[in-house]
Structure 1
Amino acid sequence: MLMVYLRSLVRDEAAIDDLFQESMIVAWRRLDECDPERPFGPWLRGIASKLVMAHYRKQKQVPVALHEAVLSVVDRHFENIGLLAGDTWDEKVTALRECVEALPDHHRNVISGRYFDGLQTQILAEQLDLTLEACKKRLQRGRALLAECLRKKGALSAAEVTS
Protein backbone atom coordinates (compact mmCIF):
# COMPACT_ATOMS: atom_id res chain seq x y z
CA MET A 1 0.00 0.00 0.00
CA LEU A 2 2.91 2.35 0.63
CA MET A 3 4.08 1.97 -2.97
CA VAL A 4 0.56 2.74 -4.21
CA TYR A 5 0.44 5.79 -1.94
CA LEU A 6 3.82 7.02 -3.20
CA ARG A 7 2.77 6.44 -6.82
CA SER A 8 -0.27 8.63 -6.22
CA LEU A 9 2.05 11.49 -5.23
CA VAL A 10 5.22 11.04 -7.33
CA ARG A 11 5.70 10.19 -11.00
CA ASP A 12 9.44 9.44 -11.12
CA GLU A 13 9.96 5.66 -10.67
CA ALA A 14 13.48 6.04 -9.28
CA ALA A 15 12.27 8.63 -6.77
CA ILE A 16 9.38 6.34 -5.76
CA ASP A 17 11.80 3.49 -5.04
CA ASP A 18 14.09 5.80 -3.08
CA LEU A 19 11.19 7.28 -1.10
CA PHE A 20 9.83 3.81 -0.34
CA GLN A 21 13.16 2.59 1.01
CA GLU A 22 13.77 5.81 2.94
CA SER A 23 10.27 5.59 4.45
CA MET A 24 10.94 2.03 5.59
CA ILE A 25 14.27 2.98 7.11
CA VAL A 26 12.80 5.97 8.96
CA ALA A 27 9.89 3.80 10.15
CA TRP A 28 12.29 1.13 11.39
CA ARG A 29 14.32 3.70 13.29
CA ARG A 30 11.17 5.22 14.81
CA LEU A 31 9.40 1.94 15.49
CA ASP A 32 9.27 2.68 19.21
CA GLU A 33 7.17 5.79 18.43
CA CYS A 34 4.47 3.77 16.67
CA ASP A 35 1.40 2.97 18.77
CA PRO A 36 0.65 -0.74 18.17
CA GLU A 37 -2.97 -0.11 19.18
CA ARG A 38 -3.49 2.11 16.13
CA PRO A 39 -3.37 1.12 12.44
CA PHE A 40 0.12 0.94 10.99
CA GLY A 41 -0.76 2.33 7.53
CA PRO A 42 -1.58 5.93 8.50
CA TRP A 43 1.57 6.17 10.63
CA LEU A 44 3.74 4.93 7.76
CA ARG A 45 1.99 7.19 5.23
CA GLY A 46 2.65 10.15 7.54
CA ILE A 47 6.37 9.43 7.38
CA ALA A 48 6.21 8.97 3.61
CA SER A 49 4.27 12.20 3.03
CA LYS A 50 6.91 14.22 4.90
CA LEU A 51 9.64 12.60 2.80
CA VAL A 52 7.70 13.32 -0.40
CA MET A 53 7.36 16.98 0.56
CA ALA A 54 11.11 17.15 1.30
CA HIS A 55 11.78 15.52 -2.08
CA TYR A 56 9.78 18.20 -3.89
CA ARG A 57 11.30 21.02 -1.83
CA LYS A 58 14.75 19.86 -2.95
CA GLN A 59 13.55 20.12 -6.54
CA LYS A 60 12.05 23.54 -5.78
CA GLN A 61 8.63 22.50 -7.01
CA VAL A 62 5.58 21.27 -5.15
CA PRO A 63 2.76 19.95 -7.35
CA VAL A 64 -0.79 21.15 -6.69
CA ALA A 65 -1.67 17.53 -5.85
CA LEU A 66 0.41 17.87 -2.68
CA HIS A 67 -1.68 20.61 -1.18
CA GLU A 68 -2.54 19.65 2.40
CA ALA A 69 -6.26 19.27 1.64
CA VAL A 70 -5.51 16.87 -1.23
CA LEU A 71 -3.13 14.85 0.95
CA SER A 72 -5.85 14.62 3.58
CA VAL A 73 -8.37 13.23 1.09
CA VAL A 74 -5.85 10.73 -0.30
CA ASP A 75 -4.97 9.61 3.22
CA ARG A 76 -8.67 9.10 4.09
CA HIS A 77 -9.06 6.86 1.06
CA PHE A 78 -6.05 4.82 2.14
CA GLU A 79 -7.43 4.60 5.69
CA ASN A 80 -10.60 3.01 4.31
CA ILE A 81 -8.54 0.52 2.34
CA GLY A 82 -6.41 -0.05 5.43
CA LEU A 83 -9.43 -1.26 7.38
CA LEU A 84 -9.41 -4.40 5.26
CA ALA A 85 -7.77 -7.53 6.62
CA GLY A 86 -3.98 -7.59 6.56
CA ASP A 87 -3.26 -4.00 7.58
CA THR A 88 -2.90 -4.41 11.32
CA TRP A 89 0.44 -3.95 13.01
CA ASP A 90 0.59 -7.53 14.27
CA GLU A 91 -0.29 -9.01 10.88
CA LYS A 92 2.38 -6.99 9.08
CA VAL A 93 5.12 -7.63 11.63
CA THR A 94 4.32 -11.33 11.93
CA ALA A 95 4.31 -11.79 8.16
CA LEU A 96 7.57 -9.88 7.76
CA ARG A 97 9.27 -11.78 10.59
CA GLU A 98 8.19 -15.14 9.14
CA CYS A 99 9.32 -14.19 5.66
CA VAL A 100 12.73 -12.94 6.82
CA GLU A 101 13.25 -16.13 8.84
CA ALA A 102 12.31 -18.23 5.79
CA LEU A 103 14.99 -16.63 3.59
CA PRO A 104 18.08 -18.68 2.76
CA ASP A 105 20.99 -17.65 5.01
CA HIS A 106 22.88 -15.74 2.32
CA HIS A 107 19.83 -13.60 1.55
CA ARG A 108 18.79 -13.19 5.19
CA ASN A 109 22.30 -11.98 6.08
CA VAL A 110 22.28 -9.16 3.52
CA ILE A 111 18.67 -8.14 4.25
CA SER A 112 19.32 -8.09 8.00
CA GLY A 113 22.59 -6.23 7.64
CA ARG A 114 21.18 -3.59 5.31
CA TYR A 115 17.73 -2.97 6.78
CA PHE A 116 17.85 -4.13 10.39
CA ASP A 117 21.43 -3.10 11.18
CA GLY A 118 21.38 -0.08 8.84
CA LEU A 119 24.70 -0.85 7.20
CA GLN A 120 25.59 0.84 3.95
CA THR A 121 25.82 -1.61 1.07
CA GLN A 122 29.58 -1.10 0.60
CA ILE A 123 30.28 -1.80 4.30
CA LEU A 124 27.94 -4.79 4.25
CA ALA A 125 29.73 -6.19 1.21
CA GLU A 126 33.08 -5.85 2.97
CA GLN A 127 31.77 -7.54 6.13
CA LEU A 128 30.36 -10.44 4.14
CA ASP A 129 33.46 -10.64 1.93
CA LEU A 130 31.47 -9.93 -1.23
CA THR A 131 32.02 -7.60 -4.12
CA LEU A 132 29.74 -4.57 -4.08
CA GLU A 133 27.89 -5.87 -7.14
CA ALA A 134 27.39 -9.33 -5.62
CA CYS A 135 26.02 -7.71 -2.46
CA LYS A 136 23.64 -5.53 -4.47
CA LYS A 137 22.44 -8.57 -6.42
CA ARG A 138 21.81 -10.52 -3.21
CA LEU A 139 19.87 -7.59 -1.81
CA GLN A 140 17.80 -7.42 -4.98
CA ARG A 141 17.07 -11.15 -4.93
CA GLY A 142 16.42 -11.13 -1.18
CA ARG A 143 13.89 -8.28 -1.56
CA ALA A 144 12.20 -10.18 -4.39
CA LEU A 145 11.95 -13.31 -2.22
CA LEU A 146 10.58 -11.25 0.67
CA ALA A 147 8.03 -9.58 -1.58
CA GLU A 148 6.86 -12.92 -2.97
CA CYS A 149 6.57 -14.40 0.52
CA LEU A 150 4.62 -11.37 1.77
CA ARG A 151 2.33 -11.59 -1.26
CA LYS A 152 1.61 -15.26 -0.53
CA LYS A 153 0.75 -14.34 3.05
CA GLY A 154 -1.62 -11.62 1.85
CA ALA A 155 0.48 -8.84 3.35
CA LEU A 156 1.47 -7.44 -0.06
CA SER A 157 -0.54 -7.19 -3.27
CA ALA A 158 0.66 -8.62 -6.58
CA ALA A 159 0.83 -5.06 -7.93
CA GLU A 160 3.23 -4.07 -5.15
CA VAL A 161 5.40 -7.13 -5.84
CA THR A 162 5.91 -6.14 -9.49
CA SER A 163 6.58 -2.48 -8.72
Structure 2
Amino acid sequence: MARSPRARRGAEEEVAAAVDTSPPENHSRAMHLGDRTLAAAAALGERAAFETIVHRYGPMLYGYVRRMVADEAAVDDVVQETFVAAWRRIDRYRGEASLKTWLFRICDRKIIDSHRVRYAEPIDDRLIDPIDPAVDSDPTVVLSNTEFLTALERALAELPVRQRAAWVLREIDGLTFPEIGITLKLSSGAARGHHHRAQATLRQRMRRWQR
Protein backbone atom coordinates (compact mmCIF):
# COMPACT_ATOMS: atom_id res chain seq x y z
CA MET A 1 0.00 0.00 0.00
CA ALA A 2 1.41 3.39 -1.01
CA ARG A 3 2.10 5.83 1.78
CA SER A 4 0.54 9.28 1.54
CA PRO A 5 2.90 12.33 1.57
CA ARG A 6 1.62 13.33 5.01
CA ALA A 7 2.05 9.83 6.43
CA ARG A 8 5.51 9.62 4.85
CA ARG A 9 6.60 12.94 6.40
CA GLY A 10 5.35 11.85 9.80
CA ALA A 11 7.12 8.52 9.50
CA GLU A 12 10.34 10.23 8.41
CA GLU A 13 10.30 12.31 11.59
CA GLU A 14 9.87 9.15 13.64
CA VAL A 15 12.65 7.40 11.71
CA ALA A 16 14.95 10.38 12.29
CA ALA A 17 14.19 10.26 16.00
CA ALA A 18 14.87 6.53 16.08
CA VAL A 19 18.50 7.07 15.06
CA ASP A 20 19.32 8.41 18.52
CA THR A 21 17.11 6.18 20.65
CA SER A 22 17.50 2.74 22.13
CA PRO A 23 15.62 -0.12 20.45
CA PRO A 24 11.93 0.01 21.42
CA GLU A 25 10.50 -3.01 23.21
CA ASN A 26 7.66 -3.43 20.75
CA HIS A 27 9.89 -4.63 17.92
CA SER A 28 11.79 -7.38 19.72
CA ARG A 29 10.33 -9.95 17.30
CA ALA A 30 11.58 -7.97 14.30
CA MET A 31 15.13 -8.10 15.65
CA HIS A 32 15.30 -11.79 14.72
CA LEU A 33 14.21 -11.31 11.11
CA GLY A 34 16.60 -11.26 8.15
CA ASP A 35 17.48 -8.08 6.29
CA ARG A 36 15.37 -8.80 3.22
CA THR A 37 12.33 -9.61 5.31
CA LEU A 38 12.80 -6.41 7.29
CA ALA A 39 13.22 -4.36 4.10
CA ALA A 40 10.07 -5.87 2.60
CA ALA A 41 8.09 -5.12 5.76
CA ALA A 42 9.45 -1.58 5.90
CA ALA A 43 8.47 -1.06 2.27
CA LEU A 44 4.91 -1.80 3.31
CA GLY A 45 5.11 0.90 5.96
CA GLU A 46 6.10 -1.17 9.00
CA ARG A 47 8.04 1.36 11.05
CA ALA A 48 9.15 -1.21 13.63
CA ALA A 49 10.87 -3.17 10.86
CA PHE A 50 12.76 -0.12 9.70
CA GLU A 51 13.68 0.84 13.26
CA THR A 52 15.26 -2.59 13.56
CA ILE A 53 17.31 -1.83 10.46
CA VAL A 54 18.35 1.49 12.02
CA HIS A 55 19.53 -0.16 15.22
CA ARG A 56 21.19 -3.04 13.37
CA TYR A 57 23.32 -0.84 11.13
CA GLY A 58 23.30 2.56 12.81
CA PRO A 59 26.46 2.01 14.91
CA MET A 60 28.36 0.70 11.88
CA LEU A 61 27.36 3.69 9.72
CA TYR A 62 28.12 6.09 12.56
CA GLY A 63 31.65 4.71 12.89
CA TYR A 64 32.21 5.05 9.14
CA VAL A 65 30.92 8.62 8.97
CA ARG A 66 32.97 9.63 12.00
CA ARG A 67 36.13 8.65 10.13
CA MET A 68 35.13 10.33 6.88
CA VAL A 69 33.64 13.66 8.00
CA ALA A 70 35.89 16.29 9.53
CA ASP A 71 33.15 18.21 11.31
CA GLU A 72 32.22 16.07 14.31
CA ALA A 73 29.01 18.05 14.78
CA ALA A 74 27.89 16.95 11.30
CA VAL A 75 28.28 13.21 11.92
CA ASP A 76 24.85 12.74 13.48
CA ASP A 77 23.24 14.76 10.68
CA VAL A 78 24.83 12.63 7.97
CA VAL A 79 23.75 9.39 9.65
CA GLN A 80 20.24 10.70 10.17
CA GLU A 81 20.01 11.89 6.56
CA THR A 82 21.19 8.46 5.43
CA PHE A 83 18.38 6.67 7.22
CA VAL A 84 15.73 9.18 6.19
CA ALA A 85 16.81 8.74 2.56
CA ALA A 86 16.78 4.96 3.03
CA TRP A 87 13.25 5.11 4.42
CA ARG A 88 12.11 7.11 1.42
CA ARG A 89 13.67 4.59 -0.98
CA ILE A 90 13.14 1.33 0.88
CA ASP A 91 10.33 0.31 -1.48
CA ARG A 92 12.91 0.42 -4.30
CA TYR A 93 15.32 -1.96 -2.59
CA ARG A 94 15.35 -5.13 -4.70
CA GLY A 95 18.05 -7.11 -2.95
CA GLU A 96 20.60 -7.05 -5.77
CA ALA A 97 23.15 -6.03 -3.12
CA SER A 98 23.07 -6.73 0.60
CA LEU A 99 21.06 -4.27 2.68
CA LYS A 100 24.27 -3.26 4.46
CA THR A 101 25.95 -2.38 1.15
CA TRP A 102 22.84 -0.51 0.00
CA LEU A 103 22.88 1.58 3.17
CA PHE A 104 26.60 2.28 2.89
CA ARG A 105 26.11 3.49 -0.68
CA ILE A 106 23.43 5.96 0.42
CA CYS A 107 25.67 7.01 3.30
CA ASP A 108 28.61 7.64 0.99
CA ARG A 109 26.46 9.96 -1.13
CA LYS A 110 25.44 11.87 1.99
CA ILE A 111 29.09 12.21 3.01
CA ILE A 112 29.94 13.65 -0.40
CA ASP A 113 26.94 15.98 -0.19
CA SER A 114 28.14 17.28 3.16
CA HIS A 115 31.22 18.87 1.50
CA ARG A 116 33.14 18.26 4.70
CA VAL A 117 35.35 15.35 3.67
CA ARG A 118 38.78 16.55 4.79
CA TYR A 119 40.24 14.58 7.63
CA ALA A 120 39.36 11.32 9.30
CA GLU A 121 38.22 11.35 12.89
CA PRO A 122 40.21 9.30 15.45
CA ILE A 123 39.77 5.55 15.31
CA ASP A 124 38.13 3.74 18.19
CA ASP A 125 38.70 0.46 19.97
CA ARG A 126 37.01 -1.55 17.21
CA LEU A 127 40.22 -1.10 15.22
CA ILE A 128 42.70 -1.81 17.97
CA ASP A 129 42.18 -2.17 21.69
CA PRO A 130 44.30 0.28 23.69
CA ILE A 131 46.14 -1.17 26.61
CA ASP A 132 44.19 -0.60 29.79
CA PRO A 133 46.47 1.11 32.36
CA ALA A 134 44.55 -0.73 35.08
CA VAL A 135 45.67 -4.04 33.57
CA ASP A 136 49.21 -3.08 32.64
CA SER A 137 50.52 -0.17 34.67
CA ASP A 138 53.94 -0.07 33.02
CA PRO A 139 54.13 3.60 31.92
CA THR A 140 56.52 2.72 29.11
CA VAL A 141 54.04 0.28 27.58
CA VAL A 142 51.11 2.68 28.00
CA LEU A 143 53.07 5.53 26.39
CA SER A 144 54.13 3.32 23.49
CA ASN A 145 50.52 2.26 22.88
CA THR A 146 49.34 5.88 22.95
CA GLU A 147 52.03 6.91 20.49
CA PHE A 148 51.05 4.05 18.19
CA LEU A 149 47.37 5.07 18.16
CA THR A 150 48.27 8.70 17.56
CA ALA A 151 50.53 7.79 14.66
CA LEU A 152 47.91 5.49 13.16
CA GLU A 153 45.22 8.16 13.44
CA ARG A 154 47.48 10.68 11.74
CA ALA A 155 48.38 8.26 8.96
CA LEU A 156 44.70 7.46 8.33
CA ALA A 157 43.83 11.15 8.25
CA GLU A 158 46.43 11.81 5.57
CA LEU A 159 45.23 9.09 3.20
CA PRO A 160 43.30 10.19 0.08
CA VAL A 161 39.57 10.02 0.74
CA ARG A 162 38.84 6.97 -1.42
CA GLN A 163 41.80 5.05 -0.01
CA ARG A 164 40.71 5.85 3.53
CA ALA A 165 37.13 4.86 2.75
CA ALA A 166 38.20 1.56 1.17
CA TRP A 167 40.47 0.76 4.12
CA VAL A 168 37.83 1.55 6.75
CA LEU A 169 35.09 -0.35 4.93
CA ARG A 170 37.35 -3.39 4.54
CA GLU A 171 39.33 -3.48 7.79
CA ILE A 172 36.75 -2.13 10.24
CA ASP A 173 33.34 -2.78 8.70
CA GLY A 174 34.27 -6.05 7.01
CA LEU A 175 32.86 -5.38 3.54
CA THR A 176 34.08 -7.42 0.60
CA PHE A 177 35.75 -5.70 -2.33
CA PRO A 178 32.65 -6.07 -4.53
CA GLU A 179 30.59 -4.48 -1.74
CA ILE A 180 33.11 -1.68 -1.34
CA GLY A 181 32.99 -1.14 -5.08
CA ILE A 182 29.21 -0.80 -4.98
CA THR A 183 29.41 1.57 -2.03
CA LEU A 184 32.03 3.85 -3.60
CA LYS A 185 30.84 3.44 -7.20
CA LEU A 186 34.03 1.68 -8.21
CA SER A 187 34.82 -1.64 -9.81
CA SER A 188 35.81 -4.42 -7.45
CA GLY A 189 39.37 -4.19 -8.80
CA ALA A 190 39.53 -0.44 -8.22
CA ALA A 191 38.27 -0.90 -4.66
CA ARG A 192 40.97 -3.53 -4.09
CA GLY A 193 43.55 -1.15 -5.57
CA HIS A 194 42.57 1.71 -3.24
CA HIS A 195 42.74 -0.65 -0.28
CA HIS A 196 46.12 -2.01 -1.36
CA ARG A 197 47.59 1.49 -1.69
CA ALA A 198 46.18 2.45 1.70
CA GLN A 199 47.69 -0.69 3.24
CA ALA A 200 51.07 0.03 1.67
CA THR A 201 51.09 3.62 2.92
CA LEU A 202 50.02 2.63 6.43
CA ARG A 203 52.59 -0.18 6.52
CA GLN A 204 55.33 2.28 5.61
CA ARG A 205 54.14 4.93 8.04
CA MET A 206 53.81 2.40 10.87
CA ARG A 207 57.11 0.63 10.18
CA ARG A 208 58.48 1.80 13.52
CA TRP A 209 56.02 -0.51 15.35
CA GLN A 210 56.53 -3.55 13.14
CA ARG A 211 58.44 -6.43 14.63
Normalised TM-score (structure 2)? 0.34
Q: RCO (CA 8 Å, sep 6+): is it higher in 1 or 2?
A: 1
Which structure carries more helix by proportion?
1
- What is the TM-score of this pair, normalised by structure 1? 0.43
